[in-house]
Structure 1
């Protein structure tokens, strides 16, 4: 009788392990003119959270960045144009540091030594025709000294990183 229960328990446990090993689809966020695929976020350099569930933090991060990129894209793109991005790496401003029990979670220390970075490919389309495309690796080394540093919006440094890229690299091409 006990052997049946042990076999049943081990079969259920192996199914749970197999379900966890199944590859998860890449998250995709879409707001207005912008569609972003976040490719293998578990491999990103640093998108760790200090005080919430990692999956919830990632969803909030991806949605916020997509919304903020769309705000800038609406100012730059012409009617009928869309921006598609595939982000392959993201490194948030700052660095996670353990608190060794002083607080319930780690702390993100933001210093100019740890700038925000992103690696991605992009394409701008108009009527199903790609008009601009490329691969980018961007970093904002002066993120602590720009005029937005007193803004307390979530992911302000990363938003500025993408906004500056759109203004300086994409706007002149259109």
Structure 2
């Protein structure tokens, strides 16, 4: 029994070491311009500051996940110049008050405007673009596509980032 426990512990340490090696991918730095000036960076049902903090945090975390495939000695700097979240805010009238919700339809797809620099360990520019517009009209047309979002309120924005990242960094000389 002691041998099995030691073996399990050894395997666990090896696996932990392997995941730790990938736990620090390329350094990602995300910068945000003045969110008050963004085209649409509003919550339908949450105070402005907590919404902005949560949204910026989720998109930053997602970019860090994407960068896990890049060499750890490299650095990716992404600046959000403008954000136009999917959908639009509409009022709904109840018995006691007015509430708001975000409506998704075929004409209100998300748009992100970003600038980025992809740098070596010595800060040499590998790739860079400014004011890159990310937009894709991909309406949610049925229950199956709605379920694919996992109820992630930033699903469509993350899809834009994933498409950009894959086209910019997959099969390149990283």
Q: Same fold (TM over 0.5)?
A: yes
Identify the residue that residue 138 of structure 1 maps to in structure 2: 134
RMSD between aligned residues: 2.3
Q: Which residue of 2 aligns with 1:11?
A: none
Q: TM-score, normalised by structure 1?
A: 0.73
Contact 1:143 1:149 in 2 (8 A): no
Q: Which residue of 2 aligns with 1:34?
A: 28
CA distance in 1, matches of 2:170, 2:38: 27
Q: Is the counterpart of residue 67 in structure 1 residue 61 in structure 2?
A: yes
Alpha-carbon shift at residue 167 of structure 1 (Å): 0.4
Q: Classify the secondary structure of the residue corresponding to 2:78.
A: strand
Q: Show the counterpart of 2:105.
A: 111
Once residues 78 and 148 of structure 1 are traced to their aligned partners in structure 2, the CA distance between those partners, rounded to angstroms, is 33
CA-to-partner distance for each residue in 1:42-91, whole Å, 9 max, x for gaps?
0101111111110110000000001011111212x122112101111001
Q: What's the offset of the Cα at 1:105?
A: 2.9
How far the C-alpha of 1:144 sits from its partner, in A, is 2.7
Aligned length: 143
Give structure 1 stretches of 5+ with no counterpart: 1-30
Asked whether the 8 Å contact 1:98–1:105 carries over to 2, the reply is yes
In the alignment, which residue of structure 2 is the partner of 1:52?
46
Q: Which runs of 5+ in 2 are unaligned?
A: 1-24
Counterpart for residue 124 of structure 2: 129
Offset of 1:101 from its aligned partner? Answer: 4.9
